[in-house]
Amino acid sequence: MIRRIPARTQTERSDATTARLLTAARRLFGADGYHATSIEAVASAAGVTKGAAYHHFRGKADLFRAVFTREQEAIADTLERVAAQSPDAWAALTQGTRTFLEHCLDPGFRRVVLLDGPAVLGWDGVREIECAHTLRVLSAGVRAAADAGLLVAGDLDARAQLVFGALCEGGMLLARADDPARALVGVADEARLLLGALRA
């Protein structure tokens, strides 16, 4: 009834199934939200059964955590590349905020990372993962700017966190707009204004 995934070695089979589950989960969680997505639906979309899902993940929340982590890895990776291409620490910050806001145009990203993430994983759970990815890049950017003497003194970690909160809210905000692409410019302007507060 279920088409078996062809693979010679076991690790190949395992990896392939895990990948398919993650892909399906990201699609369904992103489209319908955590609550409205059942494990069985994910498994079915991945071409396997619940048993397979529970073999690779401890439960629904664990599967979600994996999807969430992947999203974090992706955005952090993008941001790091943007920062590397920026001429200076300040440009890295401003361009990074714009890149993050653009990323928020993806409804799946918003749903998984901004809406369901905190409720499912708890704030500490989300923060732990974010600290290793998005927040790490942002903090590094803030610290680099501070080292360059561009920022006023203060609690840099708290500062990065507050800015991050503002950005997430901005991401949700522009998604609601009739013309998100145009709203992005306005929100990015306001965000840049806020960042300007931190300049020495």
Cβ(117)–Cβ(126) below 8 Å: yes
The angle subtended at Cα 137 by Cα 131 and Cα 143, nearest 5°, is 100
Q: Report CA-CA distances (Å) from 68 to 57, 86, 97, 145, 160.
A: 14, 27, 20, 28, 21
Cβ(68)–Cβ(74) below 8 Å: no
Closer residue to its own copies in complex, CB, 52/126: 126
DSSP state of 38: -
60 binds, among its own copies, DNA, none (CB under 5 to 8 A by kind): DNA
Q: Binding mask 5-34 vs DNA (x if CB under 7 A, - otherwise)?
A: x--xxxx-xx-xxx----------------
Shortest reach from residue 59's CB to its own copies, in Å: 13
60 near DNA (CB under 7 A): yes
> Residues interacting with its own copies, by CB under 8 A?
33-35, 110, 114-116, 118-120, 122-124, 127, 152, 154-155, 158-159, 161-170, 172-173, 176, 186-187, 189-191, 193-198
